[in-house]
Every structure is written in structure tokens, then in C-alpha cells.
Amino acid sequence: MSILRGTQRSFQVALWFLVLAVFLLVGFLHVDFRLLKPDKVQEPPVTNIMFLKTHKTASSTILNILYRFSESHNLSTALPEGSRVHLGYPWFFVTRYVEGLKQDAHLQHHFNIMCNHLRFNYPEVQKVMPRDTFYFSILRNPVFQLESSFIYYKDYAPAFQRAKSLDEFLADPWKYYNASVSLKNVYAKNNMWFDFGFDNNAPADMDYVRKRLAEVEQRFHLVLIADYFDESMVLLRRRLRWQLDDVVSFKLNVRSQSTVSHLTPESQERVRHWCALDWQLYQHFNRTFWTQLHAELSPRQLTEEVEQLRERQRELMALCLQDPEPKNLTHIDDQNLRPYQGGKANILGYNLRHGLDTTTLHICQRMAMPELQHMAHMYSLQFPDKTPKDIPFLKK
């Protein structure tokens, strides 16, 4: 009996050692448990999408991705009505800002994609988008977002006009900022908070902030982070079940380095106070972004997928562009590829390689096309009988 018990114990000990050895081996070889799971049945790609285009957050690059997907899949896009260039911003979105809805606003008319600038107003957006719509948006560290905004809206936002630099503005913002002067000042304080439909002048009271963040959580399936753009595209692609090429892009609406200012550490801290609502919004969704990303991919998978995306971007740049470095306006040959210039920002664009075959040219043109020209193109495609969008800055 005791011999039998002894053998049993040795067997148990051996089994424990075996289990431990397997765990150590798995850890050592970085075996991914997810790989052992059976493949999910591949569902079709998501095609009903609402993208809340926030300001100065790489949102024009995402708009380009969505327009291309819409065109290549023959989808409908909720485009700005008539001569408008956005969906009523900075006013709250209402359905009459969408082309094709003005006369029959009482009718239910649904689009697949919605991605132009608007101030989020869920009840009205719902009237335009199908029930199963995937809602997503993007945020950027407010320090860099405000710095970009200051240069771009320097001449437009009254709050920025008199300040010589952002450092000067931040040293005494109330000297320059008056919310009641003009809605144009929304670019100067908590601009991303405003885009989500909230009051950008509200005190950053904890209870108020918590409730608004919960609302965003409830409405939006995903909030991306521009500071980790490639990681964001990896997560987006998985959520939408899209192909790799669908989320590959060229950086659009980029400034020349000469117009980028580097804020002092003191000014950076002041941004976090001045734009406390944006800072809370960013911190919260930066956390949830990484939690979601890590829940979906192992670190090794993430590295691999980011590298795959970058490799494909390099391939497409080599195929399409004369030079992967973006160029000043004066050095862009094709006026359809010249971006709109805002304030003191020197916004760059691309030159396509000569001699591209028709199919390649079609792809490359769309990847390099700035927002306004792309919107005009989409408008003419979708509404061939309407007067084409006029882009006055191209005539100068």
C-alpha cells in the first residue's frame, strides 16, 4: 500500500514538473496562445462607419482612408451639402448639412460612411446612419494638438491673433481668450472636447468629466490615438475586418518642420491645465486604447503587424511618389494635389511619379489627394447632376 502511495506521489511530482516545464518553454519561445485557438469564421468587412473628425489629430489622413474605401467599395458617403466644406461645424450637426437630405429630411435616408468635420450630435447623426454603424474617432496629446492648432488657426481664431507665440499665449491665456467673442475661439481651448459635442469652457469638475467620458464610451466603439497612428491603424483594421491596403496611407496635412514650435516644459504643463478637459479625455482614451490593443494582440503580433503596415506604406510610396518626403506648395506640380494652407502653417503635399499606368495612377492620386479636392471628387462621383464643388483657393 505504502509503495503504491509513494509511486502515486512521485507520479504527481513528475506531472507538476512536466506542467511547469511546458509553461517555461511556452514563455521562453513566446508561443502565442491565441495561435492555438481555432480560426473564427471570417465575417464580412464593416461598411457602415461614422468617424468623428476631430481637429489637428491626423484626421485628414483617416478621412482619406475612408473616402478611398467608400469609392472602391461603391458605398455612399454623407457629404457636405452644396458649397459647404464640412457638416456645419462649429454648429451642432443637423441632417440638413448633408447633401441629398435637405428636401426630404423627414425621410429616413442612410449612408454608409460619414467622416467630414462636424460637432457631434448623436440624435441627428443617428438619423443619417444605419443602426449597426461603427462609431470611432481619434485624439492627440493636447500639447501637440494645441501647438498645431495655434499655427494653423493663428489668423482665424481671435484668441491667437495677438499672441506672438504659443508660449506667450499660455503665459496668460485669459489676456487673449474670450469665449463669448466668437465661436472661432473653439480652436483655442479644449477643441477635441468641443468636437465631441461638449462645452469646452466648462470647469474640469471630476463628476462632470466622468459622466461625459462615460457618454463617449457608450457612443463610440473605438477611440484611436494619433500619437500612435500605426498602432491605431492595426487596431482599426482588425475591428473593421479590412484588408491591409485599406488602412495604408500617406501622411496628409503635414506641416514643414520650420513651422513646428517646441514648447518649453513649463508651457507643456500649462497646456495640460488650460485644456484640462482635453487632457482628461486624452488620458482616459489613451489608457483604454492600449488596454484594447493588448487584449487583441500579443506584443509580438503588434510589432509584426505595425511593421507589415510600414513596409506596405514604403512600397506604395516608392511606387507612387517622386520623393517620399512631402513638398512645399510651390514644388507641387499638380494643382489637384496642392493642399489648402491654414494660418502660418506651411502645409506640405506630394508629387506623383511620371509614367504611371492607369490603374496605379488611380490608386496613387487618391492616396495623395488633399482633403478638399478629395471631397470635391467624391461629391462629383456621388452627385454627377449637381454643380461640382468649387475650391476657390485653387484658382489663386
Ligand X SMILES: Nc1ncnc2c1ncn2[C@@H]1O[C@H](COP(=O)(O)OS(=O)(=O)O)[C@@H](OP(=O)(O)O)[C@H]1O
Contact positions vs ligand X (CB under 6 A): 55-61, 144, 148, 226, 229, 251-255
Distance CA 288, CA 49 (A): 20
Beta strands (DSSP E) in 121-198 are 134-139
Distance CA 253, CA 263 (A): 21
Backbone angles phi, psi at 77, to 5 degrees: -120, 140
Of 79, 80, 75, 67, which Cα lies nearest the Cα of 47?
Answer: 75
In the complex with ligand X, which residue's Cβ is closer, 254 or 271? 254
Minimum CB–partner distance for residue 210 and ligand X (Å): 27
In the complex with ligand X, which residue's Cβ is closer, 140 or 270? 140
In the complex with ligand X, which residue's Cβ is closer, 55 or 212? 55
Minimum CB–partner distance for residue 24 and ligand X (Å): 40
Question: 3-state DSSP call for residue 119?
Answer: strand
In the complex with ligand X, which residue's Cβ is closer, 101 or 227? 227
Position closest to ligand X via CB:
60
CB 286 within 8 A of CB 279: no
Minimum CB–partner distance for residue 48 and ligand X (Å): 22
Minimum CB–partner distance for residue 280 and ligand X (Å): 20
Minimum CB–partner distance for residue 260 and ligand X (Å): 6
Q: Which residues pair with 114 in a beta bridge?
A: 50
Distance CA 11, CA 17 (A): 10
- Helical segments of 43-89, H only: 59-72
Minimum CB–partner distance for residue 230 and ligand X (Å): 8
In the complex with ligand X, which residue's Cβ is closer, 127 or 251? 251
In the complex with ligand X, which residue's Cβ is closer, 226 or 263? 226
Half-sphere exposure of 347 (CA within 13 A, CB side): 20
